[in-house]
Each structure stands twice: as C-alpha cells, then as structure tokens.
Chain A
Amino acid sequence: MPTKPAGTLYRGREGMWSWVGHRITGVVIFFFLLVHVLDTSLVRVSPEAYTAVIGTYKNPLMALGETGLVAAIVFHAFNGLRIIAVDFWKKGAKYQRQMLWVVLALWIVTLAAFAIRHLSLAFGGH
C-alpha cells in the first residue's frame, strides 16, 4: 500500500484548499467581469438604458450577491498576494500556511467593513 506523501506544498490541507478557493473565485470574478463590461457599455446606448439596467443592481437581493462577489474578489486579491510571497519571498514556501491564516483574517475584517457599509446603504432605503 502506497504511503501518503508528506510535506508536499500543495496536496491536502491549507495549500490545496487555498488553491481550490483561488480557482473558484477567479472563475466567478471572470464571468462577472464579462457581464459588468456589457452592462456598463449601455451608457453608449442611451442614458435611460443604462440607468434602467443598473437599477436592477440596487435591490436588496442583489446587494447580497454584490457582497458575495466582493467576498470572492477580496479573497482572490489577498490570496494572490500570498502566492506572490510564496514565489518571490525567500521564506515564502516555509510560511505559506501561516500566511493563509493571515489572508483569512484580513479577508474577514475587510469583508465585514464592506458588508456593514454596503448592506446598510442597500437595506437602509433612500
């Protein structure tokens, strides 16, 4: 029976799961980006067309979706900086696990600040 490989950087545990998270958030952000360029392009069609379509972003259900999108962006951003540190910092590979916990802590703080502001604007009425 083959023994379990030990000490590999990317198989199992923090290294692999952060990689999985990076892929999934990357794909989500990419597809949103396609849609976002298309909806913004409506400013070139007419002011009414843009304002009507962008209005659909302003309901409370979409505010939750926007918060989810920002959660994906912030994770991808901070974990991306961690990947750069793993690649370019001499001790990056050694501390990749600790850096992931730093990424997650910063992610929660940043997301909490965003969510409080954005959701209170979106649900607070106008």
Chain B
Amino acid sequence: MTATIDSPRSGRNSSGKNSSGRNSSGKIAPQYRRTGGSRGNFEMLAWLFMRLSGVVLVVLIFGHLFVNLMVGEGIHAIDFGFVAGKWADPFWQVWDLAMLWLAMLHGTNGVRTIINDYAEKDSTRLWLKIVLYAATTVIIVLGTLVIFTFNPCPVVDGVPLPGGFCPAA
C-alpha cells in the first residue's frame, strides 16, 4: 500500500478527510473563524487605525512643532495672542481638531494594548480601562469644546485685547 502524505496545510489528512477546519465547500468552519465573533473585526480595525492615524499624525505633529517652536521667535512667541491668532483661522482649527482626535485615539489604543499585555487580573484590566476611557472622553470633549467655543478677541475690563485678526473696536 502506498500512503500519500499531503503537505501540512493542504486541507486533507492521510485518511482523505478534511482536517483544516474547512468543510467540503471550502468555507471555514465556525469554530476556526477569526472574524464574525462577538468582537467582530475590532482588533483588526484597531491595528489598521494605528497605522493610518500614525502616518497622518507624523505630518500633523511635525507641522505643529515646526510652526510653534522653530519659526520666528519660537517658544518666546507663545502666549494668549499666539493661540488666538491661530484659532481665528479655520485652517488651524481643523488642523488642531484632527490632531486632538487622532492623537488621543491613537494614544488610548496604545495604552489599551499595554494594559491588556501587563495587567493579568480581569478586574485590574477592567478598572484600568475604565479610568483610561474616562480620561480620554474628558480630554477629547474638553479640547473639542475649547477649539470651537474659543473667542479670539475677548474684551478684558472693557478693553479689547490687541490682535490684527480682530475687528477694530
């Protein structure tokens, strides 16, 4: 008798029966399926999000550092008027909003991964993640509200602050 030995992942064993978890129509049997569980594709989407947001964040954050610290007087120029001047322009509002959301979600998912890696007790993981998600929510909501409700031309004690971007008083 000659036995044919198939290659390990050919989907057939020597008895001719299917051993790869695929049924006769080639579909993956439910117990071997990696997607479609209760968590769906969440982990794959999180993995993909880290790469996509990472590329965008390199551009956004390098631009942020260059404009705020490298140009002109650098850090000496940063005060209320500097921020007001930037956020009087929708371009920088959108830039900073994208940076806030992408960086917070990217960082939160990174810390989530670290918690999953190192916290062994179920309850420890749960509580660390509750604290993490609470902090993330507060920071994203706060930052978004500040960018959109900010008034770059406030009147302090009846005196409007100077700013070339403000309407003449």
Contacts and interface: CB of A to CB of B under 8 A. Distances in A.
Given A47-B154, A126-B76, A41 B70 contact: no
B30 interface: no
Interface in B58-116: 58, 61-62, 65, 69-70, 73-76, 78-81, 83-84, 100, 103-104, 107-108, 110-111, 114
Contacts, number: 102
Main SS at interface, chain B = helix
Chain B: number of interface residues, binned into ranges:
35 or more
Given A43-B150, A121-B73, A81 B107 contact: no
Contact of A51 (B79, B110, B135): B79
B51 A44 contact: no
B110 A30 contact: yes
Contacts of B108: 30
A95 interface: no
A30 B111 contact: yes
Contacts of A66: 69, 75
B104 A47 contact: no
Contacts of A80: 54, 58
